[in-house]
Chains A and B, each alone.
Chain A
Amino acid sequence: EPEVTQTPSHQVTQMGQEVILRCVPISNHLYFYWYRQILGQKVEFLVSFYNNEISEKSEIFDDQFSVERPDGSNFTLKIRSTKLEDSAMYFCASSESPGYYGYTFGSGTRLTVV
Chain B
Amino acid sequence: TQLLEQSPQFLSIQEGENLTVYCNSSSVFSSLQWYRQEPGEGPVLLVTVVTGGEVKKLKRLTFQFGDARKDSSLHITAAQTGDTGLYLCALSGGAGNNRKLIWGLGTSLAVNP
Show the binding face of A for B, using Cβ within 8 Å: 4, 6, 31, 33, 35, 41-45, 48, 50-51, 55-56, 58, 91, 93, 95, 98-108, 110
B44 contacts A105, C-beta separation under 8 Å: yes
B92 contacts A100, C-beta separation under 8 Å: yes
Please give the number of chain B residues whose Cβ is less than 8 angstroms from any Cβ of chain A in the complex. Answer: 26
13 contacts between A and B (CB under 8 A): A31-B97, A43-B103, A44-B103, A45-B100, A45-B101, A55-B96, A98-B96, A99-B99, A100-B99, A101-B31, A101-B48, A104-B45, A107-B41
Chain B hits for A31, CB < 8 A: 97, 99
Chain A hits for B79, CB < 8 A: none
Residue A56 contacts which of B40, B41, B92, B94 (CB distance < 8 angstroms)? B94
Instruction: Using A42-B104, A43-B103 as known contacts, say yes or no to A55 and B42 having CB atoms under 8 A apart.
Output: no
Interchain CA distance A48-B94 in the complex, whole Å: 11
B103 contacts A42, C-beta separation under 8 Å: yes
Instruction: Using A100-B92, A107-B42 as known contacts, say yes or no to A35 and B98 having CB atoms under 8 A apart.
Output: no
> Is the CB of B107 closer than 8 A to any CB of chain A?
no
